Amino acid sequence: MSQRTPKYTGVVPPIVTPLDTNGEVDTVSLERLVGSLLDAGVSGIFALGSSGESAYLTDAQRDTVLDTVVGAVSGRVPVMAGCIETTTNRVVERAEAAAKHGADALVVTAPFYTRTHPAEIDRHFRAVRHRTEPPILAYDVPVSVHSKLSADEVLRLAADGVVDGIKDSSGDDPGLRDLVIGAREIPGFSVLTGHEAVVDAMMLMGVDGAVPGLGNVDPAGYVRLMEACLAGDWETARHEQERLIRLFRIVRAADPATAGGSTAGLGAFKCALALLGVIDDPVPAPPMRPFTDEETWRVRTILEEVGLL
């Protein structure tokens, strides 16, 4: 077996998309956010993912996000672009746009809304690969697309050169373990976890890096966590991970009677970033709503408790 040399490693935050009070992309805040992530030492940036509200944005807004992020990064780290669409041809359109706007890699889910067979999911990824140039990372997020990518499916695609990595947000830890084991035979394949609360455990399992939404709020904390894991300093890693878990409680600040899961998570990240002065407004895309004063106070209290304010 060849020594593994995964292309994508470290901390790759799925960057949020700041919006202004008119609902348009706030490019100044987005550039400031990119700067804060780079200053913290992240290894890459994933634009237009779930945390980036890709599903809520128009194509023109998505293009603005990519132009802004790619320009602000200026080649210092790879920029991954979410090409998250319902069907193959629509994904290819977004992939072509992402390449045109300078993305270094594409992130692609299984088709959704449509009822899809595993053979069709396989055909979907192969068609996108055939029709696009940049590397592709599969995005396993069954909570949103309602299909689970099995380890066997992903490894087959990887062995055939169709996908270059995976962002695993499935919550299926045994399945991820299978994937990590299989990836040992595919030296360049990257396994990234999207599970921000157990990065230390996933690194011990053998993943190559993390794509934590909470990394928007505390990128330096995730970089410290990653450095401790890579050094084999598991006690320091555990301490940092537990502090980040306390910070992650911000996603419970929203009133569940009036806010869904996306509002609770994305709203919390944006609320925290506004309190930290990184973005100007914590406005989410409709139909999500901004945090109330009471919810904002809850987020502020947690930021203070973990030493960010």
Among residues 100, 113, 148, 167, the one annotated as catalytic is 167
User: Rounded distance, CA 198 to CA 172, Å?
Assistant: 12
Q: Clarify whether 270 is annotated catalytic.
A: no
Our CA angle for 105, 169, 100, nearest 5°, is: 20
User: Rounded distance, CA 53 to CA 63, Å?
Assistant: 13
Q: Is 147 left (phi over 0), alpha (psi -120 to 50) or beta?
A: beta
Among residues 8, 139, 222, 270, the one annotated as catalytic is 139
How many CB atoms within 10 Å of residue 256?
Answer: 10
Hunting for tokens 């609770």 — which residue is that? 264
Q: Clarify whether 139 is annotated catalytic.
A: yes
User: Rounded distance, CA 9 to CA 29, Å?
Assistant: 26
Contact 309, 275 (CB under 8 A): yes
Residues with a catalytic annotation lie at 139, 167
